[in-house]
Amino acid sequence: MSGPETPPANAPRTRAGSSSLKDGGTVVPVREVLWGSSAGVHKYETAEELEPDMAKLVVKLMVVQADTEFASIQQHRPWLDSAPTLEDRWIESRIVADEARHGLQACRILRDFGAAGQQYIDELLAKREGEHKLDAFNMKFETWGDVGAFTCFVDRVGVYQLRAFQECSYGPLARAMPLMLSEEQLHLNFGASVLRRMVQDGPKYYGSKEEAQAAVRKWYPRALDMFGHSNSETSRRAIEYGLKRWTNEEARARYIEEVSALTSKIGLELPPPEFDRHVL
């Protein structure tokens, strides 16, 4: 069959309107380190090229990353077959599959660090609920509002952390970001949609506006804590090595601005940023 939409047989296979595809290929990734003390040199492509202190930092960042991914699978698990609607159950199962893939992706980077990396992977896989590094990942999803607020607020912090790694100085990490970020977008949108439906439709959907509001007060402080200490030495070194783009405080401030607008649009209130905080 032929028609006006059918491209000639020898035309490059591109998706109309896509800025990420050019002439059938992907955009060439940036080869240079873009910020920090090594700005302008070629990105690091193998674990062997990293100086020991930078290697340690990449490992530390990946252990925390993988730990959050595996922990959230444990948190979502009880809702896989008890989320309120068929669509919600499907999205829950998709989120769990995505988080498992993100954990695998972080562990692949750890594997490049040989026996020490493998040792961390073994420890990560043995961790049970309640044994994780960050508080937000040791709390249970007791209500459906918890699922909504967690994906809306905590996953969104995850996105800020991933964006901070975009085009970073370690090539294998930089290249893992686009797919992870696109998958996380589904989680965020789902979280906001769960809270919105609870506010607008109440028990006709599931739960109530009060339950959604209580969940916001439970998860927002833990989400803000996830950015880490304001004067963190680790974050300063990560910027210097070209691994992260922002300080913890810069990222937290941008996040607060974004979620303040979003939450009031949904019809819910955020507690003040100092409320119930553990990490300052």
Residues binding Fe ion (CB under 5 A)? 69, 99, 102, 155, 184, 187
Min CB(78)–Fe ion separation in Å: 17
Min CB(53)–Fe ion separation in Å: 27
Using an 8 Å Cβ cutoff, are 268 and 212 in contact? yes
When the beta carbons of 50 and 162 are compared against Fe ion, the nearer one is 162
Number of C-alpha atoms within 13 angstroms, CB side, residue 216?
25
Going by C-beta distance under 8 Å and a sequence separation of 6 or more, which residues neighbour residue 231? none
When the beta carbons of 99 and 225 are compared against Fe ion, the nearer one is 99
When the beta carbons of 14 and 166 are compared against Fe ion, the nearer one is 166
CB burial class (10 A; 0-12, 13-18, 19+) of residue 199? buried
What's at 56, amino acid-wise?
K
Residue 156's nearest CA partner among 266, 252, 32 is: 252
Min CB(33)–Fe ion separation in Å: 25
Min CB(150)–Fe ion separation in Å: 9
Min CB(224)–Fe ion separation in Å: 17
Min CB(139)–Fe ion separation in Å: 15
When the beta carbons of 33 and 106 are compared against Fe ion, the nearer one is 106
C-alpha span between 280 and 123 (Å, rounded) = 28
Tell me how far CA of residue 38 lies from CA of 44, 172, 207, in angstroms. 10, 17, 52
- The total of other beta-carbon atoms located within 10 Å of residue 128's CB is 8
When the beta carbons of 55 and 63 are compared against Fe ion, the nearer one is 63
The encoded tokens of residue 41 equal: 């040199």
> Which residue has tokens 């444990």?
74
Residue 223's nearest CA partner among 191, 176, 197 is: 191
When the beta carbons of 187 and 245 are compared against Fe ion, the nearer one is 187
When the beta carbons of 57 and 176 are compared against Fe ion, the nearer one is 176
What's at 88, amino acid-wise?
D
Tell me the three state secondary structure of residue 131: coil
Min CB(16)–Fe ion separation in Å: 29
